[in-house]
Copies of this chain bind each other. A is one copy, B any other.
Amino acid sequence: MIRLQNDYSEGAHPRILQRLAEINLEQNPGYCTDAYCADAAEKIRQACACPEAEVFFLVGGTQTNQVVIDTVLAPYEGVVAARTGHVSCHEAGAIEFSGHKVLTLPQHEGRISATELQELARSFWQDGNHEHMVFPGMVYISHPTEYGTLYSKKELEAIARVCREFKMSLYMDGARLAYGLTAPGTDVTLADIARLCDVFYIGGTKCGAFFGEAVVFTKGNMPAHFLTRVKQHGALLAKGHIAGIQFDTLFTGNLYCEIGAHAIRLAQILQQGLRDAGLELYINSPTNQQFVELPDTVIRKLEERGVVYSFWEKTAPGKTVIRFVTSWATKEETVRELIQIIKETLIE
C-alpha cells in the first residue's frame, strides 16, 4: 500500500520518541508549568527573534484555533477568513460554538487579499448600522494555506498593515508551518511571522510530533488568565511536559526545519514526476501538499494498485482533484513508486 494521504498518519519523529523515553521517569509539575515547556518556549522565542513572545502549548489544531480566537476576540467580534479557511469550513463549527462569527472573504488559491480585506473593514466601519453587525476583530490566515500555497512577505506585510489600520489582530494558523518555512522560494521567516502577526501557532501534530501546537503571542497580548481560559475550554493538558519536551526537541538543532525540508524535497520529486507524466498540477503548491486533477477512471485504477490519497473536490463530471501529502516519515522510494504507478496507469 502506498499511503500519501496526509501528514499525520504515523507516530512521532524518532528523536521525539527517544527524548520521551529518556525522561519518562522524571517527575514534572503539571499544566505546562514545567522546565521543558519553559525551555521549549525559550527556544521558540529565539527562533522567532522575539524575546518578548509568550508561548503556550495546546493539543490540536481546531482546539488551538477555537481557544485563540475565542480568547483574543471581544464577544461582539468575529474573525475574518477565506471561504476555504480551515476555521470557515472544516472545524464542525467550533468557532461559532464558542460564540463568534466567521466573516468570509474570497480565496485566491487559499489566500486572502489585502485589498479585499481592507474593503471589508472599510465598508463595515462606514455602515451606519454597524452596531447591528459583527465587528471584524481578527484576521485568520493559514500559512501554508489549505491548498499548500504560501503568502509572500510583501503580501503578509500588506495584510498586517490593514490589520493595524482597522485594529484587527492578525492570527496565523501554522498547522503546517515547517513546510512553509522550508519551501523553495519563500521569503517569509519565523522572525517575519513574529513581527507581522499578533499571534500564530507552530504546528506540531502535522510536523512530526505525536500531538501539540505551540501558540505564540508576540505583542504582550496573551489574554489575561490564559491558563484558566484554556482549562475552561477543556484544553489544558495535565502532563503538559509531554508537549513541552516534544517542542523542545523540535526546536533543538533545527529539527523542525529538517522535518520540513525532507517533506518538501519529496514533494518536489513528486511534482516533477507528475509533470513528467504529462499531468498538470491543479495548484502550484511549493509545500508538502500536491494537488492533481485526474479522470475518475484513472483514480479507480490507482486505488486498485493500493494507492491511498486524499479526496479534494469534484471539478467536472468524471474528473476529480486528489491530494498527495509528504511528511517527515515519507520515504523517497515510496514517492518514486507512486510516480511509476501513475505513469503506468495513465498509459493503460
B76 contacts A228, C-beta separation under 8 Å: yes
CB distance from A206 to the nearest CB of B (A): 7
A25 contacts B329, C-beta separation under 8 Å: yes
CB distance from A224 to the nearest CB of B (A): 7
Query: With A28-B9, A234-B235, A237-B60 in contact, is A75–B229 under 8 Å at CB?
Result: yes
Which of A70, A93, A134 gathers most chain B CB within 10 Å?
A93
Contact partner of A10 (CB less than 8 A), chosen from B24, B101, B228, is B24
Residue of B nearest to A229 (CB): B76
A128 contacts B311, C-beta separation under 8 Å: yes
- In the complex, A70 Cα to B14 Cα: how many Å? 38
- In the complex, A78 Cα to B28 Cα: how many Å? 31
Q: Say whether A183 faces chain B, with CB atoms less than 8 Å apart.
A: no
Residue of B nearest to A123 (CB): B314
Q: Which of chain B's residues have a CB closer than 8 A to the CB of A267?
A: none
- In the complex, A42 Cα to B131 Cα: how many Å? 23
Q: Is the interface of A mostly helix, strand, loop or mixed?
A: loop
Residue of B nearest to A64 (CB): B234
User: What are the interface flags for A26-68 relative to B under an 8 Å C-beta threshold, 1 for contact and 0 otherwise?
Assistant: 1111100000000000000000000000000001111111110
- In the complex, A131 Cα to B231 Cα: how many Å? 9
Q: Say whether A109 faces chain B, with CB atoms less than 8 Å apart.
A: no
Q: Which of chain B's residues have a CB closer than 8 A to the CB of A14?
A: 24
A238 contacts B211, C-beta separation under 8 Å: yes
- In the complex, A248 Cα to B234 Cα: how many Å? 24
Q: Say whether A239 faces chain B, with CB atoms less than 8 Å apart.
A: yes
Contact partner of A242 (CB less than 8 A), chosen from B11, B28, B71, B94, is B11
Which of A26, A67, A131, A229 gathers most chain B CB within 10 Å?
A131
Q: Say whether A219 faces chain B, with CB atoms less than 8 Å apart.
A: no
Q: Say whether A193 faces chain B, with CB atoms less than 8 Å apart.
A: no
Q: Say whether A74 faces chain B, with CB atoms less than 8 Å apart.
A: yes
Residue of B nearest to A210 (CB): B242
Among A1-28, those with CB < 8 Å from B are: 1, 3, 5-6, 8-12, 14, 17, 20-21, 23-28
CB distance from A234 to the nearest CB of B (A): 3
CB distance from A205 to the nearest CB of B (A): 5
Q: Which of chain B's residues have a CB closer than 8 A to the CB of A20?
A: 11, 17, 210
Q: Which of chain B's residues have a CB closer than 8 A to the CB of A283?
A: none
Query: With A206-B238, A231-B62 in contact, is A76–B96 under 8 Å at CB?
Result: no
Q: Which of chain B's residues have a CB closer than 8 A to the CB of A234?
A: 60, 62-67, 94, 233-235
Q: Which A residues form the contact surface with B (CB < 8 A)?
A: 1, 3, 5-6, 8-12, 14, 17, 20-21, 23-30, 59-67, 70-71, 74-76, 78, 89-94, 96-102, 128-129, 131-135, 205-206, 210-211, 224-225, 227-229, 231-239, 242, 311, 329
Q: Identify the 6 closest CB pairs spanning chains A and B, nearest first.
A: A63-B234, A11-B24, A9-B27, A92-B231, A93-B134, A96-B101
27 sample A-B contacts, Cβ–Cβ < 8 Å, listed by A number:
A10-B25, A10-B26, A11-B20, A11-B242, A17-B24, A21-B21, A59-B237, A61-B238, A75-B232, A76-B92, A76-B228, A76-B229, A91-B132, A92-B232, A93-B134, A93-B232, A94-B231, A94-B232, A94-B234, A96-B96, A206-B238, A210-B239, A210-B242, A211-B211, A211-B238, A233-B234, A234-B234
